């Protein structure tokens, strides 16, 4: 949401009360497009407190980033690598700290989406140490890719333009430590399947490259291979950050996120040693490239069940169009 006036505040309350929509995402980035100012952000936080909603935030300082982008382009710095250079980790850390402070004043929980750097994570950890209800997620791209990918040839490098951008190896290690320590609660995707032709819009100007990369199909396989098999996390933590925690945080537990009487029978039979080579040519995401092209991984789903019905069996789709359901969500379960 961008406009936070009386109409919007009323719609928030109605959506929670009548539709089971219990979370709202706001941006501190993209001025003139998505960004809200601090006053609007704070109004939304207060409204979330009144109706029991959870506020999600994209935390980057959009004003600072716009100035850096303007100056880079004026110097003729147009390549994809300058996307990362004009979105420094300090801009993410500052916005994360600001969002946490405003949420603390409002007395509400806060969920930081796609956290990418050590500085932002440090603010989340410090807030949690003080007992504040601050939650955060990261994504596989920040665990397995790095700023070095912007040194690829121009067309390839554009595929890695995401926001926040890819960071350095030290940030990767900090994020892994955050997952182990519990300062990060979820590994999500921020799935944005822009095609190569979409990305080529910014061939001569990095600021025109659509921000985002595909990742929904590779999330769990990457995390198993690079997390569990690498000895960074155990299988229980793998399930927690990919299934249980999201269901709890976003008001779907215990219908989702657990195996219990009365819960939906959403089950995955997982082969921990099944080897595959990640490639746009063999994956099912509707996009013509894959950020992990050629990477060999072990661990994959064999059978997938949804509400007790087999929908994938050894790579064969068994589902049917229209079987999906809209689920009204309860309030977040943050314990």
Residue with tokens 């059978």: 303
Given this structure, which CATH class describes domain 6-257?
alpha beta
According to the model, what pLDDT value does residue 335 have? 58
C-alpha span between 95 and 138 (Å, rounded): 16
- Give exposure, 290-312, as e/b (b: 16+ Cβ within 10 Å): bbbeebebebbbeebbbeeeebb
According to the model, what pLDDT value does residue 110 have? 98
Q: Where are the domains of the chain?
A: 6-257
Contacts of 84 (CB under 8 A, 6+ apart): 147, 150, 165, 166, 167
C-alpha span between 153 and 131 (Å, rounded): 46
Q: What is the pLDDT along the chain (335 residues), one digit of tens a residue?
A: 567 888 999 999 999 999 999 999 999 999 999 999 999 999 999 999 999 999 999 999 999 999 999 999 999 999 999 999 999 999 999 999 999 999 999 999 999 999 999 999 999 999 999 999 999 999 999 999 999 999 999 989 999 999 999 999 999 999 999 999 999 999 999 999 999 999 999 989 999 999 999 999 999 999 999 999 999 999 999 999 999 999 999 999 999 999 999 999 999 999 999 999 999 999 999 999 999 999 999 999 999 999 999 999 998 999 999 999 999 999 988 85
DSSP string, 38-91: HHHHHHHHHHHHHHTPEEEEE---HHHHHHHHHHHHHTT--STHHHHHTS-HHH
**Against a cut of 0.75, is the pTM above it?**
yes
């Amino acid at each position: 949401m961008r406009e936070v006036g009386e109409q919007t505040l009323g719609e928030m309350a109605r959506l929670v009360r009548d539709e089971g929509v219990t979370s709202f995402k706001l941006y501190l980035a993209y001025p003139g497009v998505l960004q809200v100012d601090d006053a609007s952000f704070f109004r939304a936080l207060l409204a979330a407190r009144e109706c029991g909603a959870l506020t999600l935030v994209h935390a980057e300082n959009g004003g600072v980033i716009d100035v850096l982008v303007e100056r880079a382009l004026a110097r003729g710095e147009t390549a994809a690598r300058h996307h990362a250079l004009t979105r420094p980790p300090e801009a993410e850390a500052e916005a994360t700290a600001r969002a946490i402070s405003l949420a603390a004043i409002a007395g509400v929980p806060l969920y930081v989406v796609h956290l990418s750097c050590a500085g932002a994570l440090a603010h989340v950890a410090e807030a949690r140490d003080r007992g504040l209800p601050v939650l955060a997620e990261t994504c596989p791209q920040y665990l397995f890719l790095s700023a070095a990918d912007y040194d690829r040839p121009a067309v390839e490098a554009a595929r890695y333009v995401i926001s926040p951008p890819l960071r350095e190896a030290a940030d990767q290690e900090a994020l892994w430590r955050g997952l182990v320590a519990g300062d990060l609660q979820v590994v999500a995707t921020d799935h944005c399947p822009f095609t190569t032709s979409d990305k080529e819009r910014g061939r001569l100007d990095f600021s025109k490259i659509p921000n985002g990369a595909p990742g929904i199909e590779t999330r769990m396989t990457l995390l198993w291979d690079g997390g569990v098999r690498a000895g960074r996390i155990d299988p229980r933590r793998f399930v927690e950050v990919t299934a249980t925690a999201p269901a709890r945080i976003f008001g779907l537990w215990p219908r989702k996120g657990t195996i219990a009487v009365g819960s939906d029978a959403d089950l995955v039979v997982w082969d921990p040693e099944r080897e595959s080579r990640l490639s746009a040519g063999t994956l099912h995401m509707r996009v013509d490239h894959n950020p992990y092209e050629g990477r060999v991984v072990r661990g994959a789903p064999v059978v997938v069940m949804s509400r007790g019905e087999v929908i994938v069996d050894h790579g064969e789709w068994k589902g049917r169009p229209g079987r999906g359901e809209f689920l009204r969500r309860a309030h977040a379960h943050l314990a």
